[in-house]
Every structure is written in C-alpha cells, then in structure tokens.
Amino acid sequence: MKYLLLPIFLFIFQIPNLYSQKIILFSEEVSISGKIKKEMKLSLKELIAMESKALPDIVITNHLGEVKSTDKGLKGIALKPILEKLELIAATPKEYNEFYFVFEATDGYRVVYSWNELFNTETGNNIYIISEKDGKKMNEMEDRILLITTSDLKTGRRNIKGLCKILVCRA
C-alpha cells in the first residue's frame, strides 16, 4: 500500500510546476531591429555605463491586481531616450502612427507598445531598464535585463525579465 501512495504523492506535488512561469534566463544584451534604418545592440556593459536615476519601490501585481512582490531599491535607465535615437523606415512622421514595438524576453514572453504610447503619452516617460535592484547592480541581478513600466496599474503585465530583443514593426 505504501508503494502505491508514493507515485500519487509525487504527482500531487508536481501539479504546481505545470502552471508555473518558465525559468528566466538572464540576458547579456538587447538587440533592436526591424523597420529601422540601422540595427542596434546594447550590451550589458553599455547599459551599465548609462545614466540611471533612483525610482520608487514598485509593487508587482498580476492581471487580477493581486500583489505578487515588491521591487525595492530600484535605479533605472529611461528607455525613451534610447528609442529616440532610432530612425524608423517611414516617408513622413505622420506614418509613425503605424509603428509598434515588440519587447521579447529570453523565455519568449512578449509585450507590445505602440509608437504613440511610447512617444505621445506619459507611459513613455515611465519605462525603465533596471540598473539596480535590492542593492544588486544590473550585472548581479538574476532577472537581468529587467524592463519595468512604473505607471502601469497592473505592473506585472509589462514587467519583462531577461529582455533580449526589441522588434520595431509596422502595422
């Protein structure tokens, strides 16, 4: 009887693993490509050298608004100045309305922002690559390269751990 219970016991304790998040592989660089005139790569070393600013603690919530964790001791590099350097493949600025950005993590998780959302709303001023968290510098963080939108209502939805690609697309 006890030999029959062991497989059942092991199965029950594996059920949570079926629904858990994939293991996040940290990233060493972010590549930016797509509908831009010149592709760009930002290495961890280049990101660390960029100017960062202190950010408030951020409560990370899921899609239901339930608190999952709190990121403390944050410093971040504003994303907007990096993206402003990109030259989109467009005949006129009016066409920028058709562009969107796909941010991808090492585990395949993706988040989309429109050009207008980044450059024509307050959201664009609140997106950061985290350079320090909980007293750890970016190169020591297990979830590097981490991107956070501090103004989101449900912060976990666009909390991108292991950011490795930004693809510029056109609708």
Longest dimension (CA), the chain: 75
**What is d(CA 38, CA 86) in angstroms, rounded to the nearest whole number?**
7
Mean pLDDT, the chain, whole residue set:
89
Q: Look-up: residue for tokens 């991107």?
A: 147
- The answer to whether residues 116 and 86 touch, using CB atoms and an 8 Å cutoff, is no
% of the chain beyond a pLDDT of 70: 86
| pTM, to two decimals | 0.84
> CB within 8 A of 117, min separation 6: which ones?
123, 124
- 148 neighbors 166 (Cβ within 8 angstroms): no
Residue 58, pLDDT score:
94
Nearest-angstrom CA–CA distance, 162 and 28:
8
- 17-55: per-residue pLDDT in tens? 444 446 678 899 999 999 999 999 999 999 999 999 999
- Residue 23: CB atoms within 10 A of its CB come to 8
- pLDDT value, residue 25: 86
Domains of the chain, each with CATH number or no CATH: 24-170 (3.90.420.10)
Position 170 scores a pLDDT of 97
Mean pLDDT calculated for residue range 77-85: 97
